[in-house]
Amino acid sequence: MPAWLPDIDSSVVLDSLKSLLLLLSLLILRTLIVRAIAKNPALSMEAKRRGVVSVRNTILFALLVGLVVIWAHELQAFAVSLVALAAALVLATKELLLCWSGAALRVGGKVYEVGDLIQIAGYRGVVLDHDIFATKLLEVGPGQASHLYTGRIAVFPNSLLFTNTLIKENSGQEYGLYLLVVPLGDKDDWREAEGHLLDAAKTECSSFLDKAGRDMKLLEQTNLLEAPSPEPRVTIQLSETGQIQLVLRFPAPDRGRSRIEQAILRRYLTAFN
């Protein structure tokens, strides 16, 4: 080794060069794949976004695995002395480790992916992006009963997957069943209101009832359960204050739920008033 170079173990230099070569190779591969996805006219925008996210996460995982393999012998030499340090790091980085574990849970359990509408711990929106640390949502609201984009971006750490229940609002199929709650006043005739609400739902949903029925049958075959009927149905509930509430279950396309809901409400209010 030349005299002007510092006294560095040759194995460390070699491992550093291998790591740099791996990083450059993966960056070039990622750029080529992302460019091919972006220029593919057969893919929708959502499919392109999902593909880019998948490629990025796969490249990152490959880089981590490659670095572990390259530096394995160096890590092994320090394994014994790092036991105490590792214990301290676990305590100090507990939240970070939970985020990584949550990412593993999301991938292994196929909990959600880009484009899904989810809600967890007060967050509700469409998944825009996710990585090993957090998930980014395009917020939907306001509240739990509305289905409009608010324009705000919400980000939650993956660690929430271990401490909160996650609800996936879209079933992954073209059609699903949804609920609409209609409160009544003290002087309203609930029988008349029930009839108008049911008629409005049947009118608005009649054009796709057959398609929704086929989706329910597919759900039955996939999950080995008895699929519910897609026919609109109204049930009656009493709130804690004694107010009557009509609960409508109706089918709707996953991408047109808000439009169908608004059409049903407008037709019902016009008829009932």
Please provide the average confidence, as pLDDT, over all residues in the chain.
85
Share above pLDDT 90 across residues of the chain, in percent, rounded to a whole number: 43
Residue 4: pLDDT band (50, 70, 90) is very low
Whole-number pLDDT of residue 80: 64
The yes-or-no verdict on residue 168 having pLDDT over 90 is no
Q: What gap in Å lies between CA 197 and CA 117, rounded to an integer?
A: 27
**Tens digits of residue pLDDT in 96-114:** 889 999 999 999 888 898 9
Which residue is associated with the tokens 């949550």? 102
User: pTM here?
Assistant: 0.60
**Amino acid at site 170:** N
Q: Rounded distance, CA 115 to CA 99, Å?
A: 21
Per-residue pLDDT for 30 more than 80? Answer: yes
Domain ranges of the chain: 10-77, 91-170, 175-272
Lowest mean pLDDT among 24-28, 143-147, 153-157: 143-147
Q: Which residues contact 46 (CB under 8 A, 6 or more apart)?
A: 114, 115
Per-residue pLDDT at 141: 81
Examine the pLDDT at 42 and tell me if it is beyond 70: yes
**Mean pLDDT computed over 3-10:** 52
Hey, what CATH class is 91-170 in? mainly beta
Taking 70 as the threshold, does the pLDDT of residue 87 lie above it? yes
What mean pLDDT is predicted for residues 137-141?
Answer: 89
Selected residue with higher pLDDT from 215 and 4: 215
| The pair of three-digit structure tokens given for residue 128, joined into one six-digit string | 């825009």
Rounded average pLDDT over 37-56: 88
Euclidean distance between CA atoms 246 and 183, whole angstroms: 6
Q: ω into residue 157 within 30 of 0, thus cis?
A: no
Bigger pLDDT: 6 vs 107: 107
78-87, 196-205, 263-272: which has the minimum mean pLDDT?
78-87
Distance CA 66, CA 19 (A): 8
Which pLDDT value is given to residue 5? 43
| Statement: residue 153 has pLDDT above 90 | yes
Q: Which residues, at least 6 apart from 263, have a Cβ–Cβ distance to it below 8 Å?
A: 204
Which pLDDT score is estimated for 172?
Answer: 64
- According to the model, what pLDDT value does residue 88 have? 79
Structural domain 175-272, CATH architecture? 2-Layer Sandwich (3.30)
In angstroms, what CA-CA distances link 119 with 75, 169, 178, 179, 244? 41, 8, 15, 16, 27
pLDDT at 8 over 60: no
